[in-house]
Structure formats: structure tokens, C-alpha cells
Chains A and B, each alone.
Chain A
Amino acid sequence: MRIELQDIHKYYGPVRANNGISLTVAPGEIHGILGENGAGKSTLMKILTGFIHATQGSILINASPVKFQNPAQSSQLGIGMLYQDPLDFPLMTVLDNFMLGLTDGLSVETDQFRDKLKELATSFGFQINPDIPVQRLTIGERQQLEIVRLLVLGIEVLVLDEPTTGISEVQKRLLFQALKKLAADGKSVILVSHKLEDVETLCDRVTVLRYGAVTGAMESPFDTEELLKMMFGAPPAQPLRKAAQLGASVLEMKQVYASGGRAGLEDCNLTFREGEMIGLAGLEGSGQGVFLRVASGVQKPSLGEITLRGSRIKGGDYSAFKYAGTAFLPASRLEEGLIPGLTMTEHYALQNKNSKFLIPWTQAYQQAKERIKLFRIKGKPQTFAHALSGGNQQRLLLSFLPDKPKLLLLENPTRGLDLESAHWVWQRLCNYADQKVCIVFASSELDEILMVADRILVFFDGRIIKDVKSDETDADELGRAIAGKSD
């Protein structure tokens, strides 16, 4: 089956997630789609599988245009997708998961399906017990189950979204073998990934996306340097500030492990010092979020030692961390950071703990007014937090930072901000760094990290695979590390 995407556009308000993307996938081809976070890969695939509709553009199957109303229709026409977070039913058995959507009617030929599952799984070398609940499978096994199921559905095109994150080396080899077998049988495979290595070992052809548009395409064998350039663009600007004098140790971690996110956090060992500005790079969900939550005491690590300003501290005790001078700003502002339904004044009143019982409303109102002016928040003291725009919510969150913290932990502090606001945020943070505060921030923009940080940690699959001074590295090397190639 031949798939053609022609001039696909997808706009979310002013945001252009896809901006005129065209590509063709031939039968029997393994086609890689490569790009950074936010390059528009997922959006494009959701359009292809009927989950969302394109603002503009058309999809052609074997040269005839199609329009999908929902994902079920696209799989009927032969396009199946393996989602990054498996869309299955964790509490139901493997066999139930396999049969759902394939059978209709009162009776179910359970034995027939059990045989079919076994037969197909064995042909790919998969070993799945059909009678245990799916939640007891690993991510890799859930993928295998999903692939087998899609094949029974009769799909001709298999789309995989970041399939190699969170699975073992053995499972990866099995997966790649299976995909090659499918391609040899004349089915098309689309592999969406940010990992160069995967794409290089598997794909016949690669299309690279950046900022919602195609920046290039290449046939196997690939030129790594060229691919990196397409992915990350030209080398970015040089550092903004000079590295400060480093002081005493602020945060130390020894063999810290934690669960959560897609990859968790594994074997984390590090020391952060006063006056350091540290950028955390890596694809989203590679462990940065878990790291920040463990370092701020919001989440309890499963193993390991944390030392804060010279003394051991019990993980997960947020108030103790706060008392020792840490402050944490989460990325999901309305979910984790701010309280919808409360006004800005009420937020300041919560923040300000000067009085024990009564709330000093006039003081809080004054504070709100001052902070709104100082942080240039567009809103009034009586504006509700959920009514603010994303940028203003971020400014509001920043305005809660204590005056003299020791350790600032920020998750994507400039996400969704316009250039001017982002610049303003960095200026404020740099002021903190000059006062010997240790600042740690996660960002999905490599340019930004290179511009501000003195030291860069790269996360990959829950581990820190690179720890360098920013003046000893460049976008190329970091890009490789983000894509899983550290040497």
C-alpha cells in the first residue's frame, strides 16, 4: 500500500504544529521520521491515523484520497498505530486485549484466538502468556501484543511512535527483526523517533522534521552529521553570561533511583554547587521531571542518598526541603503549580505565612499589586489564576520564588512564552545565579540550554549519560547524546 501525505497543515490557534508537510511511503519500505520534541511528528501521525483532522492538506492511499472520521476507520483501511503510551487495557488479560475489536456476537471463539495469538507471536519470536493481565507485561511485551493484534486486523501500514523508549535491548532486537520481516512481506513501516541509532539501523529512508516542516530527506546509508544538522539546525548563539565562581556543595545525590514517568530515574550520582547554572537536556520524559521532583522533595526516591547543604535529608519530605532553601516550579502550571479557582491575591495570601490564623488581606492585596507590576503580569489582583494566559501563569509562578533561595529547580521555565518574556525570565534567573543561588532547569530547547547554562546534563532513558561544562561542548555533541549516542 502506498501512502502519500500532501501539504499537511495543522494549526492550534496561532501555533502551527504542522506547516505544509509532504511525504510518500512506498510498500515494503521502512520509513523513519526524525525530529526533536515539538517538531510535529506526533501531530502528523495522529492525522494519518484519524485521531485528529488536518486543518489543510490531503491523505492518499494508493493514489486515491481518503478522509478518516476516527481511528477505527483508518485501521479498517489498513493503517495501524502503535502509540507511545500503549493504548490498551491494563487490568484485562492479554487474550481479552487481543480479541477486543476483533470479535462480535454473543459467543467468543476463545480457543481459536488463543491459537492465533500463539501462532503469530511465535512466528515473530515473541513469548506472551495469554492469561495474565496486561499490567504485568513489560512495555516491550505490550508492544509485541499490539503488533500481533494489528496484524490480525489486516493492516498494511504500521506506524510506531518512539517504540524503543523504555524497552530492553533484547526486546529492541526482536522488535527490529519483526519490523524487517513485515517490510519483507510488503507491508510499510513508519518509525517515528528522535533516536539516530534506531533510524540508522532500521530505516530505508528518513524524513527529518523541524518546527513543523520538512527540513530534508535521505536514503540509506545515512550521513549522521547531515541528519543532525537537519534536526537541530545551525549551531546556536554563544553563551550569554560568564560562569560564576562556584561555592560550597548545595545538593548531592548518591545512587538515587526513583520510579515515575516513562523511564523513571536510574542510578543518579551528582553534586551541584552554589552559583552553578545547570541545564537538563533530553527528550521529554527521559527522567528530568522525576529528577526535579526528587531533588525538590515532592517525590520520594525508591533508593539512594540525598544530601542538602551538607546534611543528609529524608527523601519526599517537601517541607524539610523547602526549609533548607529549595524551591520548585513545575511545568504543568494549572495541574501542579497553581490553583484554579483562586485569585492572584489568594495565591499570595497562601504563599505569605506571616500570620498564623488571620489572613492579612490588605497586605496580600498590596503584595499582589506590587508583584504584578514587578513581574509584569497582565491581570488584576482579583484575576483568577486559571483565567491568565500561559505566559502570565508562568510569571505568576516565578513571582512566588522566595527572595533568598539556595537551590532553584525549574521545569521548562520558558515553555509557551514569547521571546521577550523568555528573555526577561532568564535575566531574572541570572540575577539569582549571581547571588550564589544554584539553579537547575529542564528545557526542551537545546539553544536555550547552551545559551544560559554553565553545565549541562543530558538524560536518556532515565539515566544521565552526559555531564559537561557548556563551554566544552556544542550542539552537535549534545544532539548526539539526546539521541542516545554518547561517546
Chain B
Amino acid sequence: MQLNKSLQSGFTLLLNGVLTLIVMFCFTTLILLVAGAPPLAAYYHIFKGSLGSWITFGHVIKTWIPLTLCSAGLIYTFRIGLWNIGVEGQIMMGAVFSTALLRWGADWNQPFGVIGLAFAAGIAGGAIWAIIAGFLKTKGGVNEIFAGLGLNFVAQGFILWLIFGPWRRPGVASMSGTEPFPYQLWLSTWPGLRIAPAGLALAIGAVLLTALILKYTRVGLNLKAIGNNAQAARLFGLNPQRNMILAMLLAGGLAGLAGNIQVTGVYHRLLPAISSNYGYLALMVVMLSNYNIWAAPLVALFFACLNVGSIQLPMVLRLDSSLSGVIQGSLVLATLAVQAWRVKRNK
């Protein structure tokens, strides 16, 4: 009986998944046909460009790290019912704070100490940016979506000012960013793959830690309780506002860490596009993984493959690389539609 039931629910889940994928494939194939591109070739190149070789897989992992860090952070804010659209800015400020520290400590001759401090600075940068949005929400009553967006724009403007202003390269200031850091301040990477093991470890660590916090600590339970029914949570002695700030702090800290790794482990300098839209993408990752911390890294891996794989498209098929975004978006929409349709049918 029990087995039968779980089999049945597993089957429904599978059916939903298959249905979603079919909808997604139909849509993207249609889009490709409209663009006059061979669909199969496009899919093949995305696959080859991401999982085709160890080098490309290395790129996938490099994308996966910040995406996973941000997704893990967003789980906290979604738990308590907040739309932390400001992750993008939180990544940027993490990168800015880290860069500031690395520039400041460049001639200390203490590379490990400086990198360690830069990690702390990155986390602080993201967290501060998130807390500002949090206070605007709890104290000012400003919707967190607009507060976050405004702060994203501010962070973007701030980075541009730094790159073209005080931190500009000697000689020419350009969109290619600041002067790269001295080599000893780069996160060490695995030869050949160019992945920083420290970054990988931090991303995996963040997922595990988030899972543990959500499952075994008061923090996780409190966020969930408030997110589901703030009024009743108050009767259980919880303070919704304080917990909202806490959730923002955790999400911002992880986003800031992602920004730090972008600076120390990937680009080794500050760029205008340092966040690479990973913040917005992470919001979709978490939505698609149904706010589940264990599903998020897998979805993030899939999204990273799409992102990296589609980089090939302009060269091989003369298509724009934004196809990945179309696939990701249609996948999330299809999931929402199939879910809603199922619920409606079961009523």
C-alpha cells in the first residue's frame, strides 16, 4: 500500500518532468526555426560546448560556483517569503570590497592573509548591501524588489565609477576593467582545468551548511514558520522583522562570497560585468528547484552547462549566445504551467 502510493507519486513526478521538458523543447525548437537555425545542431553544440571536453567542463564548474553560492543564499530569503532581487548588486559589492582589500594589501607580502581577509571583505560587502535592502523593507516599507533593483543600479554605477575613476588602469581606462592583481593574489587553480579548488570547496560547503542550517537549527525553522504564516509565528514568539534581516544577511553574505570568487579566482580584476547576471539567473535556479537546497546545485549545473555551451553558438552557427536564457526561461515557465495545470485538474 505504502509502496504503491510512493510509486504512484514518483510516477506523477516523472510524468510532470517529461511533460515540462516536452513543452520546453517544443518552444525552443520553434524559436530556433523562427531564427532559421538548425535546432539539432544547436542542441548538439550546446552539449559539446559544455560537456564535450575537460576544458569546457572546467568552464561549467567555474560558472556553477557563483550560481550555486547565490542559489544557496536565496533559499533563505525565499523561505521567509522575500524576493531578494538585489543578489546581483550583492555580488558586485562583494567583488568591490574584495578588490579594495586586495589592492590595499597587494604589497604586504602576506598573500594568504590578504586573500583570507578579502574573503571576509567580500562576504561583508554583499551582506551590507543586502541589509540595506532589508531595512528599507522592514523599517521603510519599501518593496524589496524595488529596493534591491535600485541598489543593483547603484552598485553598477559604483563599479563603473571605480573602473573609470580612482581604480582606472594607468594609461587607458576601459570596460576591460582594472589592472589585474599580482599573480600571488590569485586563487590557486588546478593545472589544466583552471578551477580554483578553494572556490569549489566553498560552494559545496555553502550547500551543505545551508542544508544543515535549514534542517537542524532554529534559524531554518524560524524562517520557514514566518514565511508560511507570519501572524501565527508571532504567537510562537518569533520576530518576523529581525528574521527578515537575518535572511537577507545570509543571502547577501553568500552572494558577496560569489563576487569575491569572481574576482580572486576567475577574472583576477574588477570588471563592469563582474556579476555576469548570475544573480538574476540564481533566482530562476531556485524557483526551478522548487526552493529545495538539494535540487538547487543540480539545476545550477544544468543552467551552467547551458550558459557555457551556448558561448559556442555565435562562432559555429552565428547565433546569439542568449539562447541559453531562452531555454532556461521557458523551462521555468513550463514547470509553473504544468504544476498549476496538475493542481487544477486534481481539484
Residues of A within 8 A of B (CB): 298, 318-319, 322, 328, 330, 334-342, 346, 349-351, 353, 355-359, 361
Q: Which chain B residues border A350 with CB–CB below 8 Å?
A: 221-222, 225, 233, 236, 238
Docked pose: A342 CA to B233 CA in angstroms? 11
Docked pose: A319 CA to B236 CA in angstroms? 9
- Closest beta carbon of chain B to A337's beta carbon, Å: 6
Specify the chain A residue showing the minimal Cβ separation from B233. A339
Taking the complex as formed, is B142 at the interface, i.e. its CB lies under 8 A from any CB of chain A?
no
Docked pose: A355 CA to B218 CA in angstroms? 9
Total contacting residues, chain B, CB less than 8 A: 18
Docked pose: A335 CA to B229 CA in angstroms? 7
Q: Which chain A residues border B290 with CB–CB below 8 Å?
A: none
Which of B216, B217, B218, B228 is within 8 Å of A342, CB to CB?
B228
Asked whether, in the complex, the Cβ of A341 is within 8 Å of the Cβ of B231, the reply is: no
Specify the chain A residue showing the minimal Cβ separation from B225. A339
Taking the complex as formed, is B191 at the interface, i.e. its CB lies under 8 A from any CB of chain A?
no
Asked whether, in the complex, the Cβ of B216 is within 8 Å of the Cβ of A338, the reply is: no
Asked whether, in the complex, the Cβ of A338 is within 8 Å of the Cβ of B218, the reply is: no
Q: Which chain A residues border B170 with CB–CB below 8 Å?
A: none
Q: Which chain A residues border B216 with CB–CB below 8 Å?
A: 358-359, 361
Which of B218, B221, B237 is within 8 Å of A322, CB to CB?
B237
Asked whether, in the complex, the Cβ of B231 is within 8 Å of the Cβ of A335, the reply is: yes
Known: A346-B224, A350-B221. 16 other contacts (CB 8 A): A318-B234, A318-B235, A328-B235, A335-B232, A338-B232, A339-B228, A339-B233, A339-B236, A346-B225, A350-B225, A350-B238, A353-B237, A356-B218, A357-B218, A359-B218, A359-B221
Docked pose: A225 CA to B218 CA in angstroms? 59
Asked whether, in the complex, the Cβ of A342 is within 8 Å of the Cβ of B224, the reply is: yes
- Closest beta carbon of chain A to B230's beta carbon, Å: 9
Asked whether, in the complex, the Cβ of A336 is within 8 Å of the Cβ of B228, the reply is: no
Q: Which chain B residues border A322 with CB–CB below 8 Å?
A: 237
Asked whether, in the complex, the Cβ of B235 is within 8 Å of the Cβ of A336, the reply is: yes
Within 8 A of A (CB), among B197-243: 216-219, 221-222, 224-225, 228-229, 231-238
Q: Which chain B residues border A330 with CB–CB below 8 Å?
A: 235
Specify the chain A residue showing the minimal Cβ separation from B239. A319
Asked whether, in the complex, the Cβ of A341 is within 8 Å of the Cβ of B228, the reply is: yes
Q: Which chain A residues border B233 with CB–CB below 8 Å?
A: 339, 350
Docked pose: A349 CA to B231 CA in angstroms? 18
Asked whether, in the complex, the Cβ of A342 is within 8 Å of the Cβ of B225, the reply is: yes
Q: Which chain B residues border A346 with CB–CB below 8 Å?
A: 221, 224-225
Asked whether, in the complex, the Cβ of B231 is within 8 Å of the Cβ of A336, the reply is: yes
Q: Which chain A residues border B237 with CB–CB below 8 Å?
A: 318-319, 322, 353
Chief secondary structure at chain B's binding surface: helix
Q: Which chain A residues border B231 with CB–CB below 8 Å?
A: 335-336
What are 8 A-B contacts with C-beta separation under 8 Å? A319-B237, A336-B232, A338-B229, A339-B233, A341-B229, A350-B238, A357-B217, A358-B217
Docked pose: A322 CA to B236 CA in angstroms? 10
For A319, A330, A335, A350, the residue with the greatest tally of chain B CB atoms inside 10 Å of its CB is A350
Q: Which chain A residues border B225 with CB–CB below 8 Å?
A: 339, 342, 346, 350
Docked pose: A351 CA to B218 CA in angstroms? 11
Docked pose: A340 CA to B221 CA in angstroms? 13
Q: Which chain B residues border A353 with CB–CB below 8 Å?
A: 237
Specify the chain B residue showing the minimal Cβ separation from A328. B235
- Closest beta carbon of chain B to A65's beta carbon, Å: 31
Q: Which chain A residues border B235 with CB–CB below 8 Å?
A: 298, 318, 328, 330, 336-337
Which of B217, B229, B234, B236 is within 8 Å of A351, CB to CB?
B236
Docked pose: A357 CA to B236 CA in angstroms? 16
Specify the chain A residue showing the minimal Cβ separation from B220. A359
- Closest beta carbon of chain B to A126's beta carbon, Å: 37
Q: Which chain B residues border A356 with CB–CB below 8 Å?
A: 218
Specify the chain A residue showing the minimal Cβ separation from B231. A336
- Provided the pairs A319-B237, A353-B237 are in contact, do residues A340 and B218 lie with their beta carbons within 8 angstroms? no
List the 4 closest A-B pairs by CB distance, nearest first.
A341-B228, A339-B229, A350-B236, A339-B228
Docked pose: A339 CA to B79 CA in angstroms? 13
- Closest beta carbon of chain B to A401's beta carbon, Å: 12
For B228, B229, B235, B236, the residue with the greatest tally of chain A CB atoms inside 10 Å of its CB is B235
Q: Which chain B residues border A337 with CB–CB below 8 Å?
A: 232, 235
- Closest beta carbon of chain B to A209's beta carbon, Å: 33
Specify the chain B residue showing the minimal Cβ separation from A323. B237
- Closest beta carbon of chain A to B240's beta carbon, Å: 12
Docked pose: A349 CA to B235 CA in angstroms? 14
- Closest beta carbon of chain A to B216's beta carbon, Å: 6
- Provided the pairs A341-B224, A342-B225 are in contact, do residues A358 and B232 lie with their beta carbons within 8 angstroms? no
Q: Which chain B residues border A328 with CB–CB below 8 Å?
A: 235
Which of A298, A336, A338, A349 is within 8 Å of B221, CB to CB?
A349
Q: Which chain B residues border A338 with CB–CB below 8 Å?
A: 229, 232
- Closest beta carbon of chain B to A254's beta carbon, Å: 26
Docked pose: A178 CA to B342 CA in angstroms? 53
- Could you mark each residue 80-94 of chain B with 1 if its beta carbon is under 8 Å from any beta carbon of chain A, else 0? 000000000000000
Docked pose: A328 CA to B221 CA in angstroms? 22
- Closest beta carbon of chain A to B239's beta carbon, Å: 9
Docked pose: A314 CA to B218 CA in angstroms? 28
Q: Which chain A residues border B221 with CB–CB below 8 Å?
A: 346, 349-350, 359
- Closest beta carbon of chain B to A241's beta carbon, Å: 29
Specify the chain B residue showing the minimal Cβ separation from A329. B235
- Closest beta carbon of chain B to A300's beta carbon, Å: 13
Q: Which chain A residues border B232 with CB–CB below 8 Å?
A: 335-339
Which of B217, B228, B238 is within 8 Å of A359, CB to CB?
B217
Asked whether, in the complex, the Cβ of A298 is within 8 Å of the Cβ of B228, the reply is: no
For B217, B218, B228, B232, the residue with the greatest tally of chain A CB atoms inside 10 Å of its CB is B232
Docked pose: A134 CA to B217 CA in angstroms? 49
- Provided the pairs A340-B229, A361-B216 are in contact, do residues A298 and B234 lie with their beta carbons within 8 angstroms? yes
Asked whether, in the complex, the Cβ of A358 is within 8 Å of the Cβ of B224, the reply is: no
- Closest beta carbon of chain B to A391's beta carbon, Å: 18
Q: Which chain A residues border B229 with CB–CB below 8 Å?
A: 334-335, 338-341
Docked pose: A337 CA to B233 CA in angstroms? 8
- Closest beta carbon of chain B to A472's beta carbon, Å: 35
Within 8 A of A (CB), among B224-270: 224-225, 228-229, 231-238
Q: Which chain B residues border A349 with CB–CB below 8 Å?
A: 221
- Closest beta carbon of chain B to A306's beta carbon, Å: 18
- Closest beta carbon of chain A to B67's beta carbon, Å: 27
For A337, A339, A357, the residue with the greatest tally of chain B CB atoms inside 10 Å of its CB is A339
Q: Which chain B residues border A351 with CB–CB below 8 Å?
A: 236
